[in-house]
Structure 1
Amino acid sequence: MTGASALYAGGVVHQRLRPRRHRLEQRVFWLLLDLSGVDGLDRRLKLFSRNRWNLFSFFDSDHGDGSGRPLRAQVEARLAAIGVELGGGAIRLLTMPRVLGYVFNPISVYYCHAADGRLAAISYEVTSTFGERRWYDLAVEAGDGDGLFRQTCAKTLYVSPFMEMEMRYRFRGGAPGDRVGLTVGCDDARGPLLTASLWGERRPLADGALARAAIAYPLMTLKVVAAIHWEAFLLWLKGVPVTLARRPAPASARGAAS
């Protein structure tokens, strides 16, 4: 496990394969936050705060069940339900911070490590523009020797009017190091429909790096939401069918991992 908290500068790409091909690419950055060290970052950094306004900030209530309860306890409880015990190992959250008090995270990723440092589980926290949130809590099993995890689960949250509910997610990535990367494939009954990839290069989480990020990615979180709605409009113009049916979903989902 490389370091603890960090900044990752990179981007995201969404590629839809049918019934009309469509591509979205956007430059963004994330913070990788060791949940046990966020208060220390608050004390050390001038441009970052926990649970109070700043240029960049992290609010516990923006994640988990929204109650502000300790996130580690929430994650550990969900992992216990799938038979994963961390034994005090680190939990690191890859997420976008609030920028000038505003944030929207389509996906945040909890990298959950066992006491010996190995990656034991991933919790994918997905939030929709409709204000709903779900977790896909998946154990990490022994891989193929390439250091990557591969996991699948059923989609349980309505996130887009251009995607059916009866779909499966495929996750592929590795523990954050000098780089971070994650690919999410979305499959329906006909096969692959959409692929979303994120990547970033590690930077030290320091005031200098945060200041440079503010210049390189101005009003980033507002632009993320604007891009989501703009791309939805373009899909509608292309004649991609709209699915408005929604149904209740469980708070978290289980799946298969390798």
Structure 2
Amino acid sequence: MESAFPVQICTGTVMHKRLRPAVNAFRYGVFFLRLQLRALEQQPQSRFRWFSVNRFNLLAFHMKDHADGKGRLSAWADQILHANGIHDADGEITLQCFPRVLGYVFNPVSFWFCHRADGALRAVICEVNNTFGEKHIYLLADEQPLGNGVQLQARKIFHVSPFCETTGQYRFRFIRREQDARVAARIEYDDVAGPLITTSVSGQEHAMSDRRILQVFARYPLMTLAVVWRIHWQALRLWIKRVPFFTKPLPPSQEVSR
């Protein structure tokens, strides 16, 4: 029997709230993909008319958009994990990211959920991109498998927004509800003065189909272009509100931070 195609499409919401020195909040509807990378590398040929892997289409996923842009994505993730002493994440790797829409994509952050062979979540790789074309990797892991919704932390060392210093701490929570196929990733950022920003992306998984692809495209046309436009629009709002502006520092080393 033919196996299901290892890509789900999710519809949901991006939320962001800044607490000080001026409150700034927004909420946008989005869609995103969840791809089972090891399975996808075994059957990369899409069976859908409006979705392709490594080829132009209405929606597409290009492996070169992630990791180092070379080779198999699962091999890159395994290399990151092994270099950091994690050798039991030999199960499926689920990559959550935006797709290309009519050839264009920008992913502020992509999440790589790395599982053990028994299905337990062992680690999460956070692949962060800024609008200056730079990338940084945060590895979130513990000595034991990660429970649903457990809090994970990472020290901020990568410049993302000119309205935040490159200091402080991130707190992450990843939630998955099997009963209604809901997923959520929540990030809280604290600077030296305390909690500053809360952001999240959440949604419901759906099986990929040509009908679903056309539905999400009709509802959120040119969504990935809108991601970049909204980043700059929100930056303008912060500037108007006189939120302090910080000059971009030198890029960090390419080492993975934990």
Q: Which amino acid aligns with 1:164?
A: E
Match of 1:29 in 2: 31
Contact map agreement 1:136 1:252 (CA 8 A) in 2: no
Q: Distance in 1 between matches of 2:169 and 2:89?
A: 31
Q: CA deviation at 1:36?
A: 2.3
Q: Distance in 1 between matches of 2:209 and 2:246?
A: 44
Structure 1 unpaired stretches of 5+: none
Q: Which amino acid aligns with 1:109?
A: F
Identity %: 40
Q: Which runs of structure 1 show a deviation greater than 6 angstroms over 4 or more consecutive aligned residues?
A: none
Instruction: Return 82-91 or 35-44, whichever deviates more.
Output: 35-44
Match of 2:205 in 1: 202
* CA deviations over 1:145-187 (Å, ceiling 9, x no partner): 7x22211011121111001001211101124740110110111
Contact map agreement 2:89 2:114 (CA 8 A) in 1: no
Query: Is 1:12 the counterpart of 2:4 in the alignment?
Result: no
Match of 1:173 in 2: 174
TM-score under structure 1 normalisation?
Answer: 0.91
> How many residues get paired?
251
Per the alignment, in what secondary structure is the counterpart of residue 46 of structure 2? helix
Matches for 1:1-258 after TM superposition, within 5 Å: 4-38=6-40, 40=43, 42-66=45-69, 68-86=70-88, 88-140=90-142, 142=144, 147-175=148-176, 177=178, 178-255=181-258
CA change 1:215–1:140 in 2 (3 A) is farther
* CA deviations over 1:197-216 (Å, ceiling 9, x no partner): 11101111121111111111
Q: CA deviation at 1:144?
A: 9.4
TM-score under structure 2 normalisation?
Answer: 0.91
Q: Which amino acid aligns with 1:228?
A: I
Per the alignment, in what secondary structure is the counterpart of residue 231 of structure 1? helix
Q: What do you get for the CA RMSD once the two structures are aligned?
A: 1.9
Q: CA deviation at 1:250?
A: 2.6
CA change 1:92–1:149 in 2 (3 A) is same
Contact map agreement 1:13 1:25 (CA 8 A) in 2: yes
Instruction: Return 78-87 or 239-248, whichever deviates more.
Output: 78-87
* CA deviations over 1:68-107 (Å, ceiling 9, x no partner): 3211111111111221124531001000000000000001
Q: Distance in 2 between matches of 1:42 and 1:140?
A: 35
Per the alignment, in what secondary structure is the counterpart of residue 45 of structure 2? helix
CA change 1:239–1:81 in 2 (3 A) is same
Structure 2 unpaired stretches of 5+: none
Contact map agreement 1:138 1:151 (CA 8 A) in 2: yes
Q: Distance in 1 between matches of 2:197 and 2:220?
A: 26
Per the alignment, in what secondary structure is the counterpart of residue 19 of structure 1? coil
